[in-house]
Structure 1
Amino acid sequence: MAPTTSNVMPGRAPRMREHEMTQTRRRSRRILTELGNAIGMGRGHDQHQKPHAAVRWSGAVAVLVIGLLAAGLVHAQERMLRDDAPQRYTVVRGDTLWDISGRFLNHPWQWPQVWQVNPQIDNPHLIYPGDVIVIRDCDGRPCLGLERGQNVVKLSPEVKRIPRRQAIPPLPLEVVENFLTRHRIVDASFNLAEQPYVVASGDKRLISGAGDSVFVRGELKRDGRYGIYRPGEVYRDGQGAFLGQELISIGEGRLSSREGELSKLALLTSRQEVRDGDLVMPLEQLELTGEFQPRPPEQAVEGRILAVPGGVRFIGRLHVVALDAGTRDGVKPGHVLAIEQQGELVSDPRTEEPVRLPGVDAGLVMVFRSYDRVSYGLVMQANRTLEVGDRVHTPDSMDLYSLR
């Protein structure tokens, strides 16, 4: 990640938040006082008071309670902002949406709750280098807004091609894209035995690579590029139920000819040697875009870290992990889940039975690809060493203050 400059206007953001919090505390005290007075007045009525007076008193109390709750919501909104958040920040190349969220918010996954879209700006959810993120007042609560940066182009006698601006990604794309081109998951409805496969190389080699040709048995329905895959890990839940089959990308090829029931594939790239029996399938469409925002799931999600592709035992920041929760569980790209480190397994001093101690929240993972029952996520934060089997769940801001 490129070094960044915070562009902080010293003192303004802290003073602004201090003023807002002071105003909120005053409103809360005033509402509490009025509520107490109303309750006192209610108690002062004798039991023979007229019905319409009781109705007025009940209505007043209800209004005051609603006001008190609203004041609490405003205060909660203010707590989302970091104490050291800049008043303005100019986005630079190399930033990610997660990085920027972390500059302003105590919890980056709360971004949608404070992001204020300007309808006068084209594609306001896309943020580009040179844009300015600012703290604003939105009806008495702090929010974040966007000032679109202006491209400065120097004119010269020569005609120059101006590169198209690229929006900042939600997370480090170089890590994720490299992974997505090499891994995919298929579910139980996908029959591997029915897929086309390599039967031989073009020159009777046992293994082949880029520049070689291979013969494929099975129907290739269209011209163009195909992926060559080899079965990897089979994912199962704690009860042994099938969740998904991982496929490892070996390379890519282009259909060059058909000869009876066989097709000839020219190998364009190879990450490993291509062997007889390797599967040939249409390339998976990579749906990762810079448009999804870090956010919590809309519903409660419970799951575990299934595996770390590549066989790593201990997990840290920017490691890709497989989770046993997918689209059927409500998990989508952009969802952020808290990771709970498994509690230590100890022995009961009396019964000698194994006892698992409670777990502790130890990190955050952001989902970037979800399948039916499995998802891939990138660990964005880890303050402890994580392992396969650690629990993941919908984050809660109160529990996660320990991560700061």
Structure 2
Amino acid sequence: MTRTWGRLGHILTGRGTATGLRRDGDRARRRIGVGSLLLAIGLLTPGFGQAQGDLMRDDAPQRYTVVRGDTLWDISGRFLTHPWQWPRVWRVNPQIDNPHLIYPGDVILIRDCDGRPCLGLQRGQNVVKLSPEMRRIPRRAAIPPLPLEVVEPFLTRHRIVEASVNLSEQPYVVASGDKRLISGAGDSVFVRGALTPGRRYGLYRPGEVYRDAEGAILGQELLSIGEGRLAGREGDLGTLELLASRQEVRDGDLVMPLKRLELVGEFQPRPPEQAVEGRILSVPGGVRFIGRLHVVALDVGTRQGVAPGHVLAVEQQGEPVRDPRTEEPVRLPGVDAGLVMVFRSYDRVSYGLVMQATRTLAVGDRVHTPEPETLYSLR
């Protein structure tokens, strides 16, 4: 009770201990009014105070200055028991331009929002030394929600196409210009298909085919090989100038319009609005043991209501054992062992990044909406 009252006193009056609140109780009552006192009584009822305490970390700082290299997930974890609860306590200041964008030098601080703890933003200021000459101040880059160096290939290059897309009907590389088996940036290749001169295209190579538990195709991954521009056509063949290549371009590689995505500033970690049930399909790159900051493919997508920013719990499959009496095989119950945040979703497949892992995860592990909490909603 003392711990809960101390937290409440800090929120409502700015004092850090229960003793200070009791000593100046009369003055506090005049300041917060009858309505806030009723709120205080409610907070002290069984379960309510615990709900508030469970939302904010006990060791959360009163203020934190954002530094270069931070991500939104990192900052959320400094203040909240679960980083994906960020939207529940984030309060936008309408006086700040682009309040959802957070920059190095900004200050995140705990505030009192009608008697409830919330997080606010104090915009940092660039320090500029005056001098007789003009200087260009570099534009600040907002902190990303996730480590961009990990997810960038899956946002701007790799893609998943639905089962309805017939890859055999897509434009493709017929041959290189000088009979090479493979080509790279600066070379030209001949392509066949309906392409527009002057337009940039991506070159792709078919990757893994994702299937559900019954074997039905959910989608196919296309690995980005490079980019090119159609320089001209002669008959049914076009000449594609290679502008960039991440791998050797080979005969038969697909040529498709580029699709680039970026993480927007309003992208925030949050639980799905509905129940989601799925599993880990694979780990791009063939990694066997899955841990923190590994990208995984999931068998849920926009059709199931999954969108970028949604956080899913990962349940590790229980171990198979044998009943000591009946000798029958038994699988032990699963255990929640991690969190995955979706950063790109397709119709029936999504890419997610493992943000927390208390155990080694594996392909086939179940993903689901985090269990509903008995917390007082701050929305």
- In the superposition, the TM-score normalised over structure 1's length comes to 0.81
Give the aligned partner of residue 243 of structure 1.
Answer: 218
Match for 1:169 among 140, 144, 150?
A: 144
Deviation of 1:205 after TM superposition, in Å, equals: 1.0
Alpha-carbon shift at residue 262 of structure 1 (Å): 1.0
* Counterpart pick for 2:97 among 115, 122, 137: 122
Separation of aligned partners in 2, 1:355 and 1:168: 47
Higher CA-based Rg = 1
1:178 — aligned with what?
Answer: 153
Mapping 1:100-179, distance limit 5 Å: 100-179=75-154
Q: What SS does the aligned partner of 2:201 have?
A: strand
Question: Deviations along 1:107-166, whole A, 9 cap, x unmatched?
Answer: 000000011111111111111111111111111111111111111222223322211111
Q: Displacement, 1:75?
A: 4.8
Distance in 2 of aligned mates of 1:222 and 1:197: 15
Match of 1:379 among 330, 354, 361: 354
Secondary structure, aligned partner of 1:315: coil
Query: Structure 1 residues 15 and 224 mapped into 2: Cα distance closer, same or farther (>3 Å)?
Result: farther
Residue 301 of structure 1, aligned match among 276, 291, 301 = 276
SS at match of 1:117: coil
Residues 347 and 80 (structure 1), Cα distance of their counterparts in 2 relative to 1, 3 Å cut: same
| Separation in 2, partners of 1:243, 1:178 | 21
SS of aligned partner of 1:387: coil
Q: How many residue pairs get matched?
A: 346
Asked if 2 retains the 8 angstrom alpha-carbon contact of 1:170 and 1:291, the reply is no
Deviations 1:185-221 (A, max 9, x none): 0002212111100001011111111111100000113
Shift of 1:222: 5.4
Task: Check the 8 A contact 2:197/2:229 in 1, yes or no.
Answer: no
Structure 2: gaps of 5 or more residues:
19-37, 375-379
Partner of 2:265: 290
1:226 match: secondary structure: strand
Distance of 1:161 and 1:286 partners within structure 2 = 29
AA at the equivalent of 2:239: K
Contact 2:189 2:242 in 1 (8 A): yes
User: In structure 2, do the counterparts of structure 1 residues 372 and 73 end up closer, same or farther at CA, with 3 Å as the change threshold?
Assistant: farther
Q: Which residue of 1 aligns with 2:231?
A: 256
Q: RCO higher in 1 or 2 (8 Å CA, sep ≥ 6)?
A: 2
What is the alpha-carbon distance in structure 1 between the residues aligned to residue 172 and residue 102 of structure 2? 43
AA at the equivalent of 1:292: F
Question: Residue type of the partner of 1:362?
Answer: A
Shift of 1:172: 0.6
> 1:22 Cα deviation (Å)?
11
Is the Cα contact below 8 Å between 2:100 and 2:266 reproduced in 1?
A: yes
Query: Is 1:202–1:215's contact at 8 Å kept on the other side of the alignment?
Result: yes
The Cα of 1:69 is off from its aligned counterpart by 9.4
Give ranges in structure 1 of 5+ residues lacking alignment. Answer: 1-12, 27-63, 400-404
CA pair 251-310 structure 1, distance change in 2 beyond 3 A: same
Q: Is the 8 A contact 1:209 1:267 kept in 2?
A: yes
Matches within 5 A, 1:20-59: none
Is 1:227 the counterpart of 2:217 in the alignment?
A: no
Taking the aligned partners of 2:339 and 2:130, their CA distance within structure 1 comes to 46
Partner of 2:174: 199
With 180-189 and 170-179 compared, the bigger mean Cα shift is at: 180-189
